[in-house]
């Protein structure tokens, strides 16, 4: 299954962020495609269950061919919102709900199929066989091409894999949140040929001012001229070098930052430079 090396995350396109107009969404979609980003990442809950419909309305008028892009959505979180009657945030992975949620996302996104449907977060009450029945139904009817998960641990992936094949796990991963390299997440995905996708790929480097982020900025500064790159490009290049072939999901809606991010794909960090950034993050030598 083909996804662009970088993925455009749509979480902040609507009410949870920039509140882009239809014209702005169309322009941003086209800019992403022009820069080689053809995969768009959604979830039913984004914007309080409104962003998919806004994106779909824009997509329907964009003139962009469906076969030129890939659409991802996630389901399972029952969110407290004026658009739902939920009294508490919880998870629902019943067969009927998964199918209904996927069908609703298709209607909102103005498309006949999803390239990928993910379970948004694991539930302690999920039943693998029931999930498998829902996935089988959706695939047989051509409503989804691939199935995966998001934020699942290795043991949770293994549990689900007993009943239904997982093609993707979307996890938090960055230089400042790289535990997936050490706790078995990425090992398990490489073992089972599961594609990793990484949300929040820039981590806390630009959000926080700590001893850790200061060390990282200092080390990045020493590498900028060598690679003729920006700090965010080097942070993405650090992720892209991992052998599991991680696909970063970038959340920016700024066209220049998208253009800059794509250049990270061409940067091949030297081995010692990759470890210099890891050491700067950890604050100590590797074991």
Q: Which residues are catalytic?
A: 46
Length of the chain: 287
Question: How would you class 146 by CB atoms within 10 Å of its CB: exposed for 0-12, middle for 13-18, buried for 19 or more?
Answer: buried
Question: How would you class 54 by CB atoms within 10 Å of its CB: exposed for 0-12, middle for 13-18, buried for 19 or more?
Answer: buried
C-beta separation of 39 from 7 below 8 A: yes
* Residues forming a β-bridge with 198: 171, 248
* Residues forming a β-bridge with 75: 119
CA distance 130 to 188: 23
C-beta separation of 1 from 146 below 8 A: yes
The secondary structure of 93-131 as a DSSP string is --HHHHHHHHHHHHHHHT-S-EEEEEE-S--TT--HHHH
* Residues forming a β-bridge with 262: none
């Amino acid at each position: 299954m083909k996804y662009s090396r970088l993925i455009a995350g749509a979480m902040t396109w609507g009410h949870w962020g920039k509140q882009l107009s239809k014209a702005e969404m169309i322009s941003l979609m086209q800019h992403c495609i022009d820069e080689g980003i053809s995969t768009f990442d959604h979830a039913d809950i984004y914007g309080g269950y409104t962003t998919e419909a806004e994106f779909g309305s824009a997509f329907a008028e964009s003139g962009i061919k469906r076969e030129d892009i890939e659409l991802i959505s996630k389901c399972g979180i029952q969110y407290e919102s004026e658009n739902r009657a939920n009294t508490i945030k919880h998870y629902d992975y019943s067969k009927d709900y998964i199918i209904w949620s996927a069908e609703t996302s298709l209607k909102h996104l103005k498309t006949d199929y999803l390239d990928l449907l993910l379970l948004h977060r694991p539930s302690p009450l999920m039943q693998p066989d029931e999930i498998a029945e829902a996935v089988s139904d959706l695939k047989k009817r051509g409503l989804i091409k691939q199935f995966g998960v998001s934020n699942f641990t290795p043991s949770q992936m293994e549990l689900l894999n007993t009943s239904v094949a997982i093609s993707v796990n979307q996890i938090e991963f960055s230089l400042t949140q790289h535990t997936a390299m050490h706790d078995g997440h990425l090992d398990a995905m490489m073992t089972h040929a599961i594609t990793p996708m990484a949300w929040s790929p820039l981590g806390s480097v630009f959000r926080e001012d700590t001893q850790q982020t200061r060390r990282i900025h200092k080390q990045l500064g020493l590498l900028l001229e060598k690679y003729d790159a920006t700090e965010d490009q080097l942070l993405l290049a650090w992720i892209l070098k991992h052998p599991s072939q991680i696909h970063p999901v970038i959340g920016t809606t700024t066209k220049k930052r998208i253009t800059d991010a794509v250049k990270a794909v061409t940067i091949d960090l030297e081995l010692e430079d990759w470890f210099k950034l890891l050491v700067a993050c950890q604050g100590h030598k590797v074991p």
